[in-house]
């Protein structure tokens, strides 16, 4: 019954908003190498202005983890002509809001404003692209802010610490093994020179993508971009990114973390997995569908098997980061039910994955998932900022506009056989990390005390 | 009986060779920053000439693993004025032999020749320090040689592959996690420019230590060194080494590698451990004694417990690399007896380490070990090349001559309480990696086939 109602709702949505299914995208490149993408959406007199740098935490100098994120903070702390904090104050004074985010492969800055304020946004963003002033005393202040952010988000969250440790175990060589926010001891040691080196090396128009989405025209964006970003010279030091890649992973790894603050223990397993590559997205698309089949919602394979048929778990899920410059992780999570141990939960997970690899994909489930992905893509198109973010993530992950355009069709055309082929390729023990997070057991505590 | 005989033999050795117990060491620094250490030993008209660079595999650019070792090979492939292979040919023509080795913290070149050939050795070594010619076609030839070396030493040896995978799991952030010879895919991708960058950055007199041991005088060595090495200018780009350090390790890791070629399965466990630091060597000395207590020979704790009292193992051992620039590994190995599984062997290991941590150090065993270390040091002093190597390793690992001189006395003064304190500090689960190496089990093979 519930499923039928959902289908009906989706069908109505499709009928109600057909015009949004097509994205009106124009792209061009400025003379200094800055890529510009314009996504027109004239439903409201608003614009989202974003600058994405093809540089994230995985582009940091080894030993300087956290530099990309630290620099992102410093981008709000003034330029040669603008005072610390002035950027966001002027955005707000003009009725807009702004923010920024750092990931493994990119750092992005955005403002959402009335469309007629676009020129001012570009003027200020171009200013901090070229003229950032890293005031030594503000670097120290900001370090305190970032360490406190790390305290709150990581040190005080056993689950976050656990993700750091399992991620480090997943990557034997690639910088994805280090946390985006940085290892604490390296944040503490980052110097103004480290931040400046990262800024000088990566912040340049030929390493940036300007995305403007909303009530704008390509001609207008081009004129404004040439005025504000055009005068900044290209940096010849910008080269194609080449990070250390993984060697063959030959041995399954297990990570067991105990933390007295853990109220709800759980098991994770992740595998090194391929990502979306330009002109080569079918494996990644199959993995997206696989993650939905295994762990996406109440009718998924793991949920049905481990929460209903043989109720050993209270929660199951699957995750996969398709949009990534280098190889990424495919993973599953099982939170055991009260009284069920992690070993039992893991054994049930193993059994269910083995069964899935033997029985294959349920055709009806696959169709339902494809339909759901289409629906959520269409819902997402209502939010111009989400659309712009999708473009930014893909473009900074090495993909081209054609890949973005092809992606929905590829997702829709993936067969059950392709999903099973990629599942057999990826879900192998050699490239897996199994993680257990739990509170110390009573007898284990005694043992640990002896060993301490 | 056997023990008594050994003691007697050692006692006789002490009486017979008292003069060798004191090392006759002189050191000075050339104007260009090259450190020189002279170890006099006039028993034979021979000299060992060594140049140690404070640069090893842990100083490579990330993604360029294997560069230090590759460059070591290229150092035999000619300079601007000397043909490929000429170096070793001339050493041999002068009745000597030569070689080189690369480790995490250093790269070293040495020749053993008649003492009157020392000038020629310096002339040739100085030439390749300053004038190496990386001929592109020879880089390609040498890449084939090195890949074949990796085939033989690593790919064809499951135990070596296993050490690579466990070492990568031990270090979450530090470059010690990458193999000295390099990951295969990175050796394949190393460019002539990578090798040249490493050479230009690290091969300079102010980053090198000249060690001359044998039938030489400090005055003579100084005169020759000033003639041959003196004209090479210091490189201002040489700075103190600072590699990425480990974050807190919060979760025990397990690595299980299956390889059909494994005839004899085994269990290893290693812990992140402190190293010898300048003026701060007591913890490392205590760990050296701990490794001997646990796994050094037929009367050690693990051997007695696991091979004799409860014979679950056919071999047990402990390892520790005290002389290291950064934090290193302390480990144990247990090879189970026929019919004993890895789980059972590991449980016996756990039980024995727990028992040891409760009962503490046997005073008589500690005295015996200290005596044995003294004896082997004195034996080793017979070999001037071993003595020179000991100096080279220590000096390139950040230690000073005073630390080398103090080390035997420190080892001798360590108490059982200090050993137990460091054991409780180091042998904690959070910083451990447990490794299982075995052939695929019959039923596991079937399972793996399904998953492949």
- The two structure tokens encoding residue A49: 């202005």
SS3 category, B437? strand
DSSP class per residue in A275-301: --BTTB-HHHHHHHHHHHHHHSSTTSH
Sign of the torsion formed by the C-alpha atoms of B419, B425, B428 and B430: negative
As averages over each run of 10 residues, the pLDDT of chain B (452 residues) reads 37 37 87 97 95 98 97 97 96 94 98 96 98 97 96 95 97 97 98 98 98 97 98 95 96 97 96 98 98 92 94 95 97 96 97 96 95 88 90 97 96 97 97 97 46 32
Whether the ipTM is more than 0.85: the answer is no
pLDDT, residue B208, reads 98
The answer to whether A452 faces chain B, any CB pair under 8 Å, is yes
State the Rg of chain A over Cα. 24
pLDDT, residue A444, reads 47
pLDDT, residue B9, reads 38
Please tell me the distance in Å from B167's CA to the nearest CA on chain A.
9
Burial zone of B328 (CB within 10 Å; 0-12 exposed, 13-18 middle, 19+ buried) = buried
Burial zone of B324 (CB within 10 Å; 0-12 exposed, 13-18 middle, 19+ buried) = buried
Most A CBs within 10 Å, among B151, B240, B253, B271, to test the A interface:
B253
The answer to whether A429 faces chain B, any CB pair under 8 Å, is yes
pLDDT, residue A14, reads 39
SS3 category, A256? strand
Distance CA B329, CA B272 (A): 5
Burial zone of B245 (CB within 10 Å; 0-12 exposed, 13-18 middle, 19+ buried) = middle
Helix and strand counts by DSSP (H, E) for chain A? 17, 11
Q: Would you tell me which residues 262-301 of chain B have a C-beta closer than 8 angstroms to some C-beta of chain A?
A: none
Tell me the pLDDT of chain A averaged across its residues: 92
The answer to whether A62 faces chain B, any CB pair under 8 Å, is yes
- By annotation, the residues of B acting in catalysis are 72
SS3 category, B326? coil
Share of chain A above pLDDT 70, in %: 93
Burial zone of B265 (CB within 10 Å; 0-12 exposed, 13-18 middle, 19+ buried) = middle
Distance CA B50, CA B392 (A): 8
pLDDT, residue A15, reads 38
- The two structure tokens encoding residue A447: 């043992």
Contact A429 B451 (CB under 8 A): yes
pLDDT, residue B441, reads 80
The answer to whether B256 faces chain A, any CB pair under 8 Å, is yes
Q: What residues of A are in contact with residue B147 (Cβ under 8 Å)?
A: none
The answer to whether A413 faces chain B, any CB pair under 8 Å, is no
pLDDT, residue A380, reads 83
Contact A452 B254 (CB under 8 A): no
Q: At what angle do helices A363-380 and A282-295 cross, to 10 degrees?
A: 100
- The two structure tokens encoding residue A93: 């004074």
Confidence band, pLDDT 50/70/90 cuts, at residue A13? very low
Distance CA A327, CA A271 (A): 10
The pTM (predicted TM-score) of the whole model is 0.86
* Beta strand B35-40 pairing with B208-214: parallel
SS3 category, A452? coil
Q: From B82, B439, B110, select the one nearest B257 (Cα to Cα).
A: B439
The answer to whether A165 faces chain B, any CB pair under 8 Å, is yes
Let me know: does B312 contact B348? Beta carbons within 8 Å. yes
Burial zone of A363 (CB within 10 Å; 0-12 exposed, 13-18 middle, 19+ buried) = exposed
pLDDT, residue A378, reads 86
Distance CA B92, CA B88 (A): 6
Contact B255 A255 (CB under 8 A): no
The answer to whether A360 faces chain B, any CB pair under 8 Å, is no
Burial zone of A220 (CB within 10 Å; 0-12 exposed, 13-18 middle, 19+ buried) = middle
Q: Which single residue is written with the structure tokens 């394979």?
A: A301
Distance CA B23, CA B43 (A): 13
pLDDT, residue B297, reads 82
Q: Which single residue is written with the structure tokens 């067969």?
A: A415
Over residues A399-415, the mean pLDDT reads: 96
pLDDT, residue A442, reads 61
Size of interface A-B (CB pairs under 8 A): 128
Helix (H) or strand (E) holding B108: strand B107-114
pLDDT, residue B442, reads 61
Please tell me the distance in Å from A137's CA to the nearest CA on chain B.
25
Please tell me the distance in Å from A416's CA to the nearest CA on chain B.
16
Distance CA A157, CA A40 (A): 41
Q: What residues of B are in contact with residue A450 (Cβ under 8 Å)?
A: 354, 357-358
Helix (H) or strand (E) holding B436: strand B432-438
- pLDDT score of A452 more than 80: no
- pLDDT score of A441 more than 90: no
- pLDDT score of A10 more than 80: no
């Amino acid at each position: 019954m519930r499923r039928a109602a959902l289908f009906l709702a989706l069908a109505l949505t499709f009928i109600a908003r057909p015009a949004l299914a097509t994205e009106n995208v124009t792209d061009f490149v400025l003379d200094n190498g800055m890529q510009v993408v314009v996504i027109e959406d004239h439903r409201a007199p608003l614009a989202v202005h974003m600058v994405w740098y093809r540089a994230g935490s995985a582009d940091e100098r080894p030993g300087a983890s956290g530099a990309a994120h630290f620099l992102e903070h410093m981008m709000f702390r003034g330029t040669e002509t603008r005072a610390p904090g002035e950027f966001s104050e002027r955005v707000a004074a003009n009725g807009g809001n702004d923010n920024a985010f750092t990931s493994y492969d990119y750092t992005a800055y955005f403002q959402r404003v009335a469309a007629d304020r676009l020129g001012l946004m570009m003027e200020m963003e171009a200013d901090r692209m070229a003229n950032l002033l890293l005031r030594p005393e503000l670097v120290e202040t900001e370090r305190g802010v970032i360490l406190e952010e790390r305290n709150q988000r990581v040190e005080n969250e056993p689950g976050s610490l656990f993700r750091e440790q399992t991620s480090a175990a997943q990557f034997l060589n690639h910088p994805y093994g280090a946390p985006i926010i940085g290892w604490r001891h390296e944040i503490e040691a980052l110097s103004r020179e480290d931040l400046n080196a990262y800024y000088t090396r990566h912040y340049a128009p030929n390493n940036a993508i300007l995305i403007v989405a909303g009530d704008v025209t390509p001609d207008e964006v081009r004129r404004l971009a040439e005025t504000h970003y055009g005068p900044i010279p290209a940096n010849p030091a910008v080269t194609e990114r080449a990070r250390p890649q993984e060697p063959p992973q030959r041995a399954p790894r297990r990570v067991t973390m105990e933390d007295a603050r853990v109220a709800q223990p759980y098991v994770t397993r992740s595998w090194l997995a391929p990502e979306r590559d330009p002109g080569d997205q079918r494996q990644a698309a199959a993995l997206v569908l696989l993650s939905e089949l295994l762990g996406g919602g109440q009718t998924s394979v793991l949920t049905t098997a481990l929460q209903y048929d043989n109720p050993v778990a209270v929660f199951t899920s699957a995750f996969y980061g398709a949009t990534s410059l280098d190889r990424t992780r495919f993973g599953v999570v099982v939170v055991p039910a009260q009284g069920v141990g992690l070993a039992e939960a893991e054994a049930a997970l193993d059994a269910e994955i083995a069964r899935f690899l033997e029985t294959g994909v349920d055709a009806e489930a696959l169709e339902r998932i494809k339909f759901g992905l289409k629906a959520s893509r269409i819902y997402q198109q209502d939010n111009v900022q989400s659309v712009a973010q999708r473009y930014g993530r893909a473009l900074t992950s090495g993909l081209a506009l054609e890949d973005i355009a092809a992606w929905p069709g590829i997702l829709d055309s993936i067969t059950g056989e392709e999903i099973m082929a990629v599942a057999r390729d990826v879900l192998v023990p050699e490239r897996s990390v199994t993680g257990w997070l739990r509170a110390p057991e009573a007898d284990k505590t005694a043992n640990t005390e002896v060993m301490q």
